[in-house]
Amino acid sequence: MQSSQLLVERNNPALGRHDLASEPLRADVPLTREAACHFICAADDELPELLATARLARDGFKPGVITYSRKVFIPLTNLCRDYCGYCTFRRDPGQPGAHTMTPDEVLGVARAGEKLGCTEALFSLGDKPELIFPQMRETLRNLGFRSTLHYLEAMCDLVLRETSLLPHPNPGLMSSEWISRLAAVSPSMGLMLETTNESLLATGAAHDNAPDKVPVKRLRTIEEAGKQGVPFTTGILIGIGESPEDRVNALLAIRDLHQQYGHIQEVIIQNFRSKPEIPMRNCAEPNRGDMLRTIAVARLLMPDVNIQAPPNLSDPDYETLLDAGINDWGGVSPLTPDFINPERPWPHLQQLQQRTNAKGY
Ligand code: SF4
């Protein structure tokens, strides 16, 4: 593999404390933390070389192939005990749209997806709603389960037994016992780290009133999955009040866990999108440059890990994300909407293929 030629000038004031002159940007050597902190804020004239190096690293990892996962999304319940400032998915009981799916509904979606050639059932759901909502406790009691996780376990088992789809649960924080139980009925699972910045838990910040978004708890879940050898999907959410350095710290935390346990199957770089109904509606969205820099740095920190970005959150020109070194579009469904960002439909699969092909893949 070639290395890129970018050498940063020794006296570049943008470098701050770190002297990168002796540290050329290379596709075959993972970035140091200092270099990552620099390049995540790369100047415009550095960007082409940064992206070219990230593409080289991607091509050294999986040359010529960009993948996606054809799946159905199963929003098992949109009740949630957290109140993230950017979320339009969650509901309180009684709010319009509040819903917990029945087993028949779960199976109906899975079977319809099976007919369309889907291979995975991604369960997305709120975190432990029964802890604060008696209505959810009653719903679960009527269904015959003690907790949302017990119900999720049964629904994963149902999909696994009755269809050809592979369940992939995303239920939020999990104990070691629950990782083990869910691993028995699903070959992989996921939890977005989102950030390692604890100040986002402060009053008025993105994770104010979101007890399941404490970074150390999320890292513990990801680590526990590693200890048990469970293939795991995680990632970061950018534009929720974190700094560029925070993004590097979160990526490094994921890299460290992957180096220790080797279980991270993909890292998602997700961009915050504003919506009129959310508390964070007046916050600025990350721009394309932020996404490109973050993806490129993620690629160069983890050259041998799948790096993905959701195409629907970067419409209409999502294919430019390929320039920064992603090798996977993540889950795209021919059947179900993106329940987390319902206003942003998945691209048609044919269009996704055409645009990916046009980039040379
Ligand atoms: S993002 Fe997830 S944890 Fe946060 S409020 Fe929405 S559903 Fe709950």
Neighbours of 38 (CB within 10 A): 27
Q: How many angstroms does the Cα of residue 82 sit away from the middle of ligand 1?
A: 6
CA-closest residue to ligand 1 atom 3: 82
**82 touches ligand 1 (CB under 6 Å):** yes
Q: Is 200 exposed, middle or buried (0-12, 13-18, 19+ CB in 10 A)?
A: buried
Q: How many angstroms does the Cα of residue 240 sit away from the middle of ligand 1?
A: 13
Domain extent listing, the chain: 13-59, 60-356
User: Residue 348: its pLDDT value, please?
Assistant: 86
Among 159-163, 176-180, 295-299, 311-315, the least confident range:
311-315
User: Residue 18: its pLDDT value, please?
Assistant: 43
Show the DSSP H helices in the chain as ranges.
33-39, 47-61, 103-115, 134-143, 148-162, 176-183, 215-227, 244-261, 288-301, 349-358
List, in order, residues 6 or more apart from 321 with CB less than 8 Å away: 291, 292, 295, 309, 311, 314
CA-closest residue to ligand 1 atom 4: 84
Residue from 76, 87, 193 to probe ligand 1 pocket by mutation (most atoms less than 8 Å from CB): 87
User: For 91-98, what is the mean pLDDT?
Assistant: 97
**280 touches ligand 1 (CB under 6 Å):** no
Q: How many angstroms does the Cα of residue 56 sit away from the middle of ligand 1?
A: 36
pLDDT of residue 6 exceeding 90: no
pLDDT of residue 1 exceeding 70: no
Q: How confident is the model at residue 11 (pLDDT cuts 50, 70, 90)?
A: very low
Specify whether the CB–CB gap between 136 and 79 falls below 8 A.
yes
- pLDDT of 36-87, one tens digit each? 999 999 999 999 999 999 999 999 999 999 999 999 999 999 999 999 999 9
Domain boundaries 60-356, CATH class: alpha beta
Considering only CA atoms, give the Rg of the chain: 20
CA-closest residue to ligand 1 atom 2: 126
List, in order, residues 6 or more apart from 242 with CB less than 8 Å away: 195, 197, 200, 250
Average pLDDT, the chain: 92
